[in-house]
Structure 1
Amino acid sequence: MKISTKGRYGLTIMIALAKNHGDQKPLSLKSIARDHDLSEHYLEQLIPPLRNAGLVKSVRGAHGGYLLTKSPEQMTAGDIIRILEGPIMIVEGMEEEEPAKKELWLRVRDAVRDVLDTTTLKDLASFNDDPHQEGYMFYI
């Protein structure tokens, strides 16, 4: 499965809106595009499916833009990816695979779904990309 720019940029929009969520002031696509060096025109194409799915709402006017319809902890990366990319599938035609390979693809698909469905917008918005921040410590 390859996540296209639709999914990646859609997550960018939603993370920006999640970071802005407490302000209750709409965030414009122009500012998101500028802050992330993306095409505003392309972001405009991604908003309708997110709005139709009820994840964002638009506010008209000079200071208009977009707001989340729910709190960031109530939306997952999986919700957004499915809206913009469709169902999460690792391999097409899995039904025709031999049992061992089919089992592998199902396990990979389930693992990807689990990560996407347990990662909330709040998690993504609060991620600190400070290079000095300590990461996870793994002991073997």
Structure 2
Amino acid sequence: MKISTKGRYGLTIMMELALKFGEGPTSLKSIAEKNGLSEHYLEQLIAPLRNAGLVKSIRGAYGGYILSRDSATITAGDIIRVLEGPISPVDFTEEDDPAKRDLWLRIRDSIADVMDSTTLSDLINYKEENKADNYMFYI
């Protein structure tokens, strides 16, 4: 299983909105420019996020998108499932070997646990805490 650009860019959109939470709407154009992404592609991703109730759209000259609730209550799992569908490492049937089936179920459940316990706030804090790691020093 691989998370496609839909899931990865969806997380990018949501993290950008989380960074601006409480400051008013953010345009997809500004998110696209800041992250070097296609605004048209982001427009395709925002619709399912809005339909799922994760974001709200604000119309008007200074419109854009805002999170529908605090970033501490939105998980990576919420976002990925909306954009990617159910997460499973393999498609398996009842006829599969029970030992292998149990392995796939445990892997699926472990992935779900990580995604469902990681909030947008966690991702923002991690990004902020590790900014210092991006500097390169020469002596």
Q: CA deviation at 1:59?
A: 0.7
The match for 2:12 is 12
Mind listing any 5+ residue stretches in structure 2 that lack a counterpart? 135-139
Change (3 A) 1:94 1:112: farther
Q: CA deviation at 1:123?
A: 0.6
The match for 1:82 is 81
Q: CA deviation at 1:120?
A: 0.3
Q: CA deviation at 1:22?
A: 2.8
The within-5 A match list for 1:22-61 is: 22-23=22-23, 25-61=24-60
Instruction: Give me the identity figure in percent.
Output: 63
Please, which moves more after superposition, 118-127 or 32-41?
118-127
Task: Give the aligned residue type for 1:5.
Answer: T
Cα distance in 2 between the residues matched to 1:122 and 1:79: 13
1:97 partner SS: coil
Cα distance in 2 between the residues matched to 1:132 and 1:3: 25
Cα distance in 1 between the residues matched to 2:131 and 2:52: 33
Q: CA deviation at 1:53?
A: 0.6
Q: CA deviation at 1:95?
A: 2.8
Q: CA deviation at 1:61?
A: 1.1
Cα distance in 2 between the residues matched to 1:5 and 1:132: 25
Q: Does 1:130 align with 2:135?
A: no
C-alpha offsets along residues 45-69 of structure 1, whole Å, 9 cap, x if unaligned?
0011000111101111111100001
List 4+ stretches of structure 1 deviating above 4 A.
none
Task: Give the aligned residue type for 2:13.
Answer: I
Cα distance in 2 between the residues matched to 1:84 and 1:16: 17
Whether the 8 Å CA contact 1:16–1:32 is kept in 2: the answer is: yes
Q: How many residue pairs are counted as aligned between the two chains?
A: 132
Whether the 8 Å CA contact 1:94–1:105 is kept in 2: the answer is: no
2:88 partner SS: coil
Mind listing any 5+ residue stretches in structure 1 that lack a counterpart? 134-140
Cα distance in 2 between the residues matched to 1:5 and 1:108: 22
Q: CA deviation at 1:96?
A: 2.8
Cα distance in 1 between the residues matched to 2:113 and 2:27: 31
Cα distance in 1 between the residues matched to 2:4 and 2:133: 30
